Amino acid sequence: MTKEFKKINIPSHPLNDGNSIPLLGLGVYKTTDEKDMHTAVDAAYRCGYRLFDTASVYGNEELLGNAIRDLDIPREKIFLTSKVWNNAQRLGDVSGAFQRTLDRLGTAYIDLYLIHWPVPGCTRQTWRELIRLKESGLARSIGVSNFSPAQLECLEQETGVVPVLNQIECHPLWRQGETVDYCQSHGIQVQAYAPLARGAYKDREILIKIGEKYGKTAAQTGLRWLIQRGISVIPKSVHPSRIAENADIFDFALTEPEMTAIDAMDEGLRTAHIPQDLVDTEWAVLTD
């Protein structure tokens, strides 16, 4: 018997191009087992998830596309995000990489296509290619990931086109205040990957105590803190019970003192690594 889950009404947030994005979605990073993907996607959909986030470098776009098709629902019911990887940028093969993503996902369009990392010497041209994809209608919205305020400003100055979204690592142990503030003051939606910090704050006393007040876990409390900052989240899991738990964060609100207390947890903890091909470069600076 298929287990039933509480269906959550996940709100959406408007993007600066007139489209909108769900405030919570399922990240599928490292999900490369076919059974796990199908289980996760099915459970997520039944819980109310409509946003699914992947990337070419994850090696699972085809698995995700198959799992979504098995839901047997109209394509427009799903919001799909994928990303162009660094080597495609260096080879000048952004449009080819995008077409391969479409083919693997088995879809005619992508709801949101992102530059995965800013690659020195490539990022301006990559952004111009994404603008063309947006103009063609094949990518409904375009954005970036792991970009600093300076890099975001550079793109706008070069093209006049502001990304709709910047996907960054963000959680109570690394609040990314400067980048979040810049994005929100320039109409760029912030989306947090690794919003649970790979489990690094699940045992933190302050989050446990605040969560107990609302009948929530430390993880749910951390996710709620992000949502109340106006940041969308894409927690990753292949476990149906955890997927359901992560979505159950829209029936309570943290107080201002609670938000401030969680703000103070920031210790600049990065849990996601910088790709090896960027480690020895000045990846934080755009150069042509």
d(CA 74, CA 54): 19
Is there a catalytic annotation at residue 29?
no
**In the block, residue with structure tokens 């996940």:** 10
Q: What is the DSSP string of 200-240?
A: TTTT-HHHHHHHHHHT--HHHHHHHHHHHTT-EE--B-S-H
Residue 113: strand pairing partners: 82, 142
pLDDT 10s per residue in the chain (288 long)?
456 778 999 999 999 999 999 999 999 999 999 999 999 999 999 999 999 999 999 999 999 999 999 999 999 999 999 999 999 999 999 999 999 999 999 999 999 999 999 999 999 999 999 999 999 999 999 999 999 999 999 999 999 999 999 999 999 999 999 999 999 999 999 999 999 999 999 999 999 999 999 999 999 999 999 999 999 999 999 999 999 999 999 999 999 999 999 999 999 999 998 998 897 665 454 433
Looking at the whole model, is its pTM more than 0.75? yes
Catalytic residue selected from 45, 49, 58, 182: 58
- Residue-range domain boundaries for the chain: 15-265
The percent of the chain in helix, strand and coil, each rounded to the nearest 5, is 45, 15, 40
Which has the closest alpha carbon to 37: 4, 12, 71, 14?
Answer: 71
Q: Which fold, 15-265?
A: TIM Barrel (3.20.20)
- DSSP-derived letter for residue 174 is B
Residues 173, 270: Cα–Cα separation, whole Å:
8
